Amino acid sequence: MTPNTSNSTAKVRFKQHATDPLCTLGNTFDAPNIDVDVSATLSKSTGRVHAVGKHDGAPSHEILMSHITSKGKFLRGCAYRFKKRSFNDLLPPMEVKVDVTVNPTGIWTKGCKVY
């Protein structure tokens, strides 16, 4: 996390290249890696979040957010959800692009845009 004190923002990068060592077929085949590379910019003053990057088409991916209102109420919501198409979509390259902006003002909706 890299805070920028001049405009009260923080940048977070989620990068994953995960393997499953238990998911092999003998010594000849390993399961494909699960790859994610998404960066998010968060504004402390407005609560705005902008996430951009890419991920594999499987498994399912989502970005969940929490928001505390000015009255101290804790709300949760989903900013992004991608439902897997097929585990064949784990094969390179990462083909699903993420570009989502969330402005949590007023009532936080629990709905989520599904791609």
Residue-wise pLDDT for 83-105, tens only, equals 887 877 777 778 899 998 887 66
Has residue 60 been placed in a domain? Answer: yes
Structure confidence by residue, pLDDT tens digits, 34-81? 889 999 998 877 778 899 999 988 888 888 777 676 777 776 777 888
- Indicate the number of domains in the chain: 1
By three-state DSSP, how is residue 6 classified? Answer: coil
- Structural domain boundaries enclosing 74: 2-20+32-102
Token digits of residue 22: 């238990």
Strand partners, 101: 50
- Of 109, 96, 93, the C-alpha closest to 61 is 96
Compute the radius of gyration of the chain from its Cα atoms. 17
DSSP structural state of residue 108 = P
pTM above 0.95, yes or no: no
